[in-house]
Amino acid sequence: MILRDAPLLHMWSVIDEILELSAQHVLPHFRECWWDHIFHDVLLTNTPGIILGLKFCDWIGLEKYDWLGREGAKSWKEWKIWTCHRRYGGFCYGMFLISINFLTGFFMINALWIPPSNPLSIVRLLVWFLLGNIAFKEGWHDMKSWNTVERQFNPVEARYRWLAFGVLTMEAAIPFKFVRDAGNLIKNPKHPPLLVFAYALIVFVMFGFYI
C-alpha cells in the first residue's frame, strides 16, 4: 500500500532475503534454513501478501505507481528508468530507504533489548506506514512530473521525504550507539571479503550508471 508497484514489490521481497543472508554473520536472527528464505518468506508469505495488497489497493481506489516507467513501453529496454536520471535515482533512493528500514527494525530492537512481542514494534510499523505513504507519494509525483509543463506550475515539495530520511538516519544510528551492550549481536564479526566486494561493486556500478 506504500510502494504500489508489483515488480518493485517482488524485487524488494527477494532483496530482503538477500539482506538477511548478508547480515546473518552479525545478527543471528537472520540465520534461517534456505527453504525458509525461499518457500516460507518469498513464495508463501511475501508473494500472496503482495497480490492481496495490490488487489486491496484497486478495491479502495488507490493510485498505482510505476517506479520503473513501464507504462507505454514495448519491452524492458524502453523503461524510463534507463533514460531518466530522476526516475533511476528515485528508484535507487527508494530501494535504499526501504532496505535500511527493514534492517533497522531488527537491529534496533536487538540493541535496545526490546522483545519481539513488545507493542513498540507494531507502533513503529504503524508510524512508518503513515509517514512512508506520504514520503513515497511525494517521490512518485516528483518523478512523474519531472521535465513536464505541469511541474513548472505545481512544484513538488520534499518535506516528508527529508523527514523520513532523518528518522531512518536516527534509527540507523541507535544500533551503532548501543552496539557494545546489544543483546544477541555477534561481537567483532568477520565480514566475508566476497560479501564486501559484491556490495562495493553493486554500489559502484549503480552510481556509475547514474553519472
At 18-31, the pLDDT tens digits run 999 899 888 888 88
**pLDDT at 147 (0 to 100):** 85
- Residue 171: the pLDDT is 94
Q: What is the model's pLDDT at position 148?
A: 86
Q: Quick one: pLDDT at residue 50?
A: 95
- 74-130 pLDDT per residue, tens: 999 999 999 999 999 999 999 999 999 999 999 998 888 888 889 998 999 999 999
The confidence score (pLDDT) of residue 189 equals 79
Residues 6+ apart with CB under 8 A from 107: 27, 174, 175
Long-range contacts formed by 86-90: CB under 8 A, 24+ apart: 86/142, 86/143, 86/146, 86/147, 87/143, 87/146, 88/209, 88/210, 89/210, 90/139, 90/142, 90/143
Q: CB-based burial of residue 109 (10 Å sphere; 0-12 exposed, 13-18 middle, 19+ buried)?
A: buried
Say what percent of the chain tops pLDDT 90: 63
Query: Is it the case that residue 37 has pLDDT exceeding 90?
Result: no
pLDDT in tens, 46-69: 999 999 999 999 999 999 999 999
Joined grid coordinates for residue 3: 510502494
Where does the pLDDT of residue 191 fall: very low under 50, low under 70, confident under 90, or very high at 90 and above? Answer: confident
Mean pLDDT of the residues in the chain: 90
Yes or no: say if 102 and 42 are a contact pair by the CB < 8 Å rule: no
132 within 8 A of 164, measured Cβ to Cβ? yes
* pLDDT at residue 188, as a whole number: 74
User: What is the full DSSP assignment across 143-170?
Assistant: HHTTTSHHHHHSPPP-HHHHHHHHHHHH
For the segment 146-187, what is each residue's pLDDT rounded down to a tens digit? 888 888 888 888 899 999 999 999 999 998 888 887 778 777
CA distance 58 to 94: 22
pLDDT tens digits, one per residue of 95-111: 999 999 999 999 998 88
* Helix (H) / strand (E) containing 146: none
pLDDT at 34 over 80: no
Euclidean distance between the first and the last CA atom of the chain, given in angstroms as a whole number:
31
Dmax over CA atoms of the chain, in Å, equals 55
Residue 94's H or E segment, with its range, is: helix 85-111
